[in-house]
Amino acid sequence: GNSVTQMEGPVTLSEEAFLTINCTYTATGYPSLFWYVQYPGEGLQLLLKATKADDKGSNKGFEATYRKETTSFHLEKGSVQVSDSAVYFCALSTNAGKSTFGDGTTLTVKP
């Protein structure tokens, strides 16, 4: 079956530091890949997505590239802000069906 493995947290960074959250997946077929963000007290929000190999998703300074050869979709941001503190979930979806999520990585950014 499908599975997503995320870098374990929590991750604590200083403002303006570089962020990487690792995500690898196992899937049958050709999945679409997603990063969702959950801010404290709020629901899941789509952060970015990529639908085929070598696609790069980007939003709000975050980027992730769909790497089929390494089955990875690592999330990066060059300079984090305090407002980026949240839980980040990597997910995949195949054939418009269910999504499979990782367990989430908690990011705390300190001023």
- Work out the burial of residue 38: count CB atoms within 10 Å of its CB; fewer than 13 is exposed, 13-18 middle, 19 or more buried: middle
**Nearest distance in Å: CB 14, other proteins:** 25
Say whether residue 52 binds other proteins (CB under 8 A). no
Say whether residue 73 binds other proteins (CB under 8 A). no
Q: Roughly how many angstroms between the first and final C-alpha of the chain, as a whole number?
A: 41
Distance CA 74, CA 6 (A): 9
Q: Judged by CB under 8 A, which stretch of 21-29, 60-68, 69-77, 97-105 contacts other proteins? A: 97-105
Say whether residue 57 binds other proteins (CB under 8 A). no
The Cα-based distances of 66 to 25, 49, 69, 74, 78 in angstroms read 11, 9, 9, 8, 18
Of 65 and 94, CB closest to other proteins? 94
Among residues 15, 16, 54, 103, the one that binds other proteins under rule CB under 8 A: 103
**Nearest distance in Å: CB 48, other proteins:** 11
Say whether residue 104 binds other proteins (CB under 8 A). yes
The Cα-based distances of 88 to 1, 13, 29, 72 in angstroms read 22, 14, 24, 15
Binding site for other proteins (CB under 8 A): 4, 32, 34, 36, 42-46, 49, 51, 89, 91, 93-104
